[in-house]
Amino acid sequence: MYKVLFNRSIGPSPYSLLLPEPVRDVGDYGAIPTTGLMSGHQGCTGCGMVTGTNQVLRALKLMDKHVVASIGTGCNEVITTQNTSCWGDVSVDHNNFPNTGATLSGNIAALRALVQAGAVSSDSVVNIGIAGDGGTYDIGLQALLAWIARGENGVYVCLNNQAYMNTGIQGSGATPFGTNTTTTPFGKVVRGNQRTQQSLLELALAAGASYVASACPLLHRDLMIKAQKAAAIEGPCVLEIYSVCPEGWKSDTDVFHEITGLALDTRSWILCEAEREQRSNTVLFTLNYLPKRFLPISEYLKMQERFAGMRGFPEMVQHAQEIIDARWSFWHPVLEANGIDDKKEGEAFAT
């Protein structure tokens, strides 16, 4: 358990109570050419994961960091291992499906040894782990939580596309309620996924993470600030990135913006961050995005055929709404402090 504090101000913030100085806002760097994930990868058209990885790498390189990445098996590994040149000057260690957290620990231990031997300076390298939602929520959870519990310096990035996409769209621990996947098919006896998706941020905080954040590539400034914070803050940091997947979500390939916008405005994906002051065991929660209009979940279900079955059952849509409302209610203290009423559905307001 930890003490909970809320940040009153809403929106992307380069400040952190764990850092003496704010990280630089990406705009402040000016036109410095950096490379993230480069051409040669085999991501599908409209893949959000590619953009997410790209932005994380760019943000870290803007800090003059050499990136050492441990990547778990998953879409990200499949699309970047046939042409490894797409990683540019990133050193990459592809391990097994369950081991991203464990490999990250190995990388970090090696860095410590290199620093002791005087081969590299500790602040020139950042160790990151990248895995999908299956490799994080399911098979890799033990390794991830154990890595967090060891309290090592590093960044774990979960590219969450809410199912196992590269093996043929099977449900995972991050699959939303009612979703049609090949292992949670929408039929007459069982209607899609009956479980509620887990919350990685809660799991990571409970395990003792210093910094956890959720982001989406649509709001790249917010994402890149968070990646830089995660690299700068001492201790284990977890960044979860919303990754649009036209292949698995059965959506058009050119509606990346629209789907992400709806995810944010229906609060299906809440942009937030939490930083832990270890000595006083206090966690400060910040809400990074406030919808201009509060939309019902039914709007989010429209553009994705993975929800096609569920759309026909009002009680299921209602249940999905209840899940979201329950999660969103956590942020009520922030809304109240700002005089915002989220009961007025669909109504525009000024912040």
Partner 1 sequence: MQPDLTVRIAGESGEGVITIGETLCKISAREGINIVTFRTFPAEIKGGACMIQVRLSETPIPYHGEKVDLLVCLNQLALDENLRDLKEDGVLVCESECDLEDEQPRRTVYKAPFDRIATREIGSRITKNIVVLGTLSYIMGLSKEIVEGFITEKFARKGKAVLDHNMDALQRGINYAAQHFTRETPYQLPQGSVHKKLLMTGNEAIALGATAAGMRYFFGYPITPASEIMEWLAVNLPKVGGTVLQTEDEISAVCSVAGASWAGGVSMTSTSGPGLALMSETIGLLSMAEIPAVIVDSQRGGPSTGMPTKTEQSDLLIALYGSHGDSTRVVMAPISVSDCFQVTATAFAIAEKYQLPVIVLVDQALSARLETVDRQILDKIPKFSRLCVIPREDGHYARYQLSGFDVSPIALPGTAGGEHMVTGREHDAFGNFACDEETHTAMTVKRFGKLNSIETDPLMSEMCLRLGDENAEIGIVTWG
Number of Cβ within a 10 Å radius of residue 122: 11
How far is the C-alpha of 137 from the C-alpha of 174, rounded, in Å?
A: 7
Q: Are strands 125-132 and 154-160 parallel, antiparallel or unpaired?
A: parallel
**139 near partner 1, rule: CB under 8 A:** yes
**305 near partner 1, rule: CB under 8 A:** no
What does residue 268 show for φ and ψ, rounded to 5 degrees?
A: -65, -30
Site for partner 1 in 44-83 (CB under 8 A): 44-45, 73, 75, 77-79, 82
| Of 159, 165, 290, 316, the one binding partner 1 by CB under 8 A | 165
What does residue 135 show for φ and ψ, rounded to 5 degrees?
A: -75, -10
Q: At what angle do helices 256-265 and 48-62 cross, to 10 degrees?
A: 80
| Of 12, 98, 176, 178, the one binding partner 1 by CB under 8 A | 98
Q: Closer to partner 1 at the Cβ: 42 or 282?
A: 42
Give the CA count within 13 Å in the CB-facing half-sphere of 215. Answer: 32
| Nearest distance, CB of residue 104 and partner 1, angstroms | 18
Q: How far is CA 332 from the centre of its chain?
A: 22
Q: Are strands 236-242 and 282-287 parallel, antiparallel or unpaired?
A: unpaired
Site for partner 1 in 169-188 (CB under 8 A): 170-171, 173, 182-185, 187
Segment contacting partner 1 by CB under 8 A, of 147-155, 163-171, 265-273, 291-299: 163-171
Token pair in block for residue 275 = 């930083």
Residue type, 19: L
How far is the C-alpha of 129 from the C-alpha of 22, rounded, in Å?
A: 24
Binding mask 240-279 for partner 1 (x = CB under 8 A): -------x--------------------------------
Q: Closer to partner 1 at the Cβ: 247 or 299?
A: 247
Q: Closer to partner 1 at the Cβ: 94 or 220?
A: 94
| Residues forming the site for partner 1 (CB under 8 A) | 42, 44-45, 73, 75, 77-79, 82, 94, 96-98, 134, 137-139, 141, 164-168, 170-171, 173, 182-185, 187, 189-190, 247
